[in-house]
Amino acid sequence: MKWGKADFKEFKKLAEQIEKAEKESQEFCESVVKELLARLLAKVIPATPVGDGTLRRGWISGSEGEAQGGGDVSSGEITAYAESVDIRKNGDVYEIEIINPVNHALFKEYGHRTRQGTGTAPNYKPKPGGQVWVEGSFMLTISEQDLKREAPNIIKKKLEKFLKEIMP
């Protein structure tokens, strides 16, 4: 009795493609994180209030001193910064830390109080007890919310491209 023949070339090819995908999956995940970071920075930097530009440059700087004295932040600088960031893998989660080291960044983000009459900005609102509240800009908060809505489509497109390269 004859059982027949089987050609396992396609199975071997599939196994090689899966092995290649496993090897390159961490690189893929890190590239996704870096792209999402670059997109977040491209949103938050223009949304950051402008004084002398220090606060905006702070998003891609390691210190307040490094952020001082610069001009506008270019898209090339954003991309270079995103590529250089350290990514930590914690279980199945890839993590990065976004810090603006400029001293007044938190006050601009969330708002702050000041003494009555010491400011001239139109968003000063008198509060009881001689205090004035300056509303926050929420530049990072709003940019992060925008990116969360966009992220699934960004990741889907990158994943489709990655899978096409691995398994043509």
DSSP letter assigned to residue 91: T
Is residue 162 a contact partner of residue 154, using CB atoms and an 8 Å limit? Answer: no
Q: Is 44 exposed, middle or buried (0-12, 13-18, 19+ CB in 10 A)?
A: buried
Bridge partners, residue 112, by sequence: 134
Is residue 48 a contact partner of residue 55, using CB atoms and an 8 Å limit? Answer: yes
Q: What is the pLDDT along the chain (168 residues), one digit of tens a residue?
A: 567 676 778 778 878 878 877 778 889 999 999 999 999 999 999 999 988 889 999 999 999 999 997 778 899 999 999 999 999 999 989 999 999 999 999 999 999 877 665 555 556 565 556 667 888 999 999 999 999 999 999 999 999 998 888 776
C-alpha 40/C-alpha 159 separation (Å) is 19
Q: pTM for the complete prediction?
A: 0.80
